[in-house]
Structure 1
Amino acid sequence: MIRYDLKCDGDHRFDSWFPSGEAFEGLSSRGLVTCPVCGSAKVEKALMAPSVRPGRKAATTPPAEAEATALRQPRNEMEEALATLRRQVEESSEYVGMNFAAEARKIHAGNAPERSIYGEAKPDEARKLIEDGVPVAPLPFMPARKTN
């Protein structure tokens, strides 16, 4: 796997992982690499600093721990807003996992106590909930159990 720092024609900077340099080139040439901010498919590699591991004596924090800490920190306002939304949802709602569609229907029908829930649903289940008038909305993040 290789990580590239990328930049779109709107000067939005982001990064992404690819199986190889050839995979990036192939996806990019077909317009399948897009900016997460504006959706532009005019994306190019940005100047990157090499990732060099310090010598054993120079490292005060284990590299894997330092990298994991850096990955948990929001890098821009959008990531900070998503982190805040996630905290609010997790603190004020009950996670019902893959039972989301069934539980949402029970609450909507009055067969379960009314409360805020979140969970997972297959696309066809979510579409059916919306068609049936059950008030649901997709969340812009994965459940904690599905993230690294």
Structure 2
Amino acid sequence: MINYTLKCDKNHRFDSWFKSAEAFDMLIKKSLIVCSECGSTNITKAIMAPSVSTSRKKDEPRKEIQTKSKIKNDILELKKLIDDGIPVMPLPFLPAKKTN
């Protein structure tokens, strides 16, 4: 499915979904797409911003920064404890709890 922003010759804009680009072209050629405001069949595609899909989720960089920040803070706390003469020992890694 493809979502196009369309406009008529009187500059009315509206969105519509099409099965494919070919389906859109066929409907335009047959004048089957009509402006809902004025009834014009002189329809063209309006300029649209592309919807870019990336493999990386938007929150990944933020989570990476938070994780590195937590590790850095933990190291600073450990250094303070060692400077104060308090012995420290690393604990085994425990995975974060996951909820459904």
TM-score normalised to the size of structure 1? 0.37
Q: Judging changes above 3 Å, is the alpha-carbon distance between structure 1 residues 40 and 52 closer, same or farther for their aligned structure 2 residues?
A: same
**Offset from partner CA, 1:10-37 (integer Å, 9 cap, x none):** 1001110011111111111111001111
Larger Rg, first or second structure (1 or 2): 2
1:44 alignment partner in structure 2: 44
Q: Judging changes above 3 Å, is the alpha-carbon distance between structure 1 residues 48 and 59 closer, same or farther for their aligned structure 2 residues?
A: farther
> 2:53, 2:59 → 1: CA distance?
9
Structure whose residues are more often helix by fraction? 1
1:53: Cα distance to partner?
3.7
Q: Judging changes above 3 Å, is the alpha-carbon distance between structure 1 residues 50 and 37 closer, same or farther for their aligned structure 2 residues?
A: same
> Which consecutive unaligned segments of at least 5 residues does structure 1 have?
61-148
What is the count of residue pairs matched by the alignment?
Answer: 59
1:22 alignment partner in structure 2: 22
1:76 alignment partner in structure 2: none
1:59: Cα distance to partner?
4.1
**Offset from partner CA, 1:101-138 (integer Å, 9 cap, x none):** xxxxxxxxxxxxxxxxxxxxxxxxxxxxxxxxxxxxxx
Aligned residue for 1:27, secondary structure, equals: helix
**Offset from partner CA, 1:59-91 (integer Å, 9 cap, x none):** 49xxxxxxxxxxxxxxxxxxxxxxxxxxxxxxx
Runs of 4+ in 1 over 4 A off after TM superposition: none
> 1:16, 1:23 → 2: CA distance?
12
1:9 alignment partner in structure 2: 9
Higher normalized contact order (CA 8 Å, seq sep 6+, divided by chain length): 2
> 1:27, 1:47 → 2: CA distance?
19
1:42: Cα distance to partner?
0.2
> 1:59, 1:20 → 2: CA distance?
31
TM-score normalised to the size of structure 2? 0.54
> Which consecutive unaligned segments of at least 5 residues does structure 2 have?
61-100
Q: Identity over the aligned pairs, expressed in percent?
A: 53
- Computed over aligned residues only, the root mean square deviation of the Cα atoms, in angstroms, reads 1.6
Amino acid at match of 1:44: T
Aligned residue for 1:5, secondary structure, equals: strand
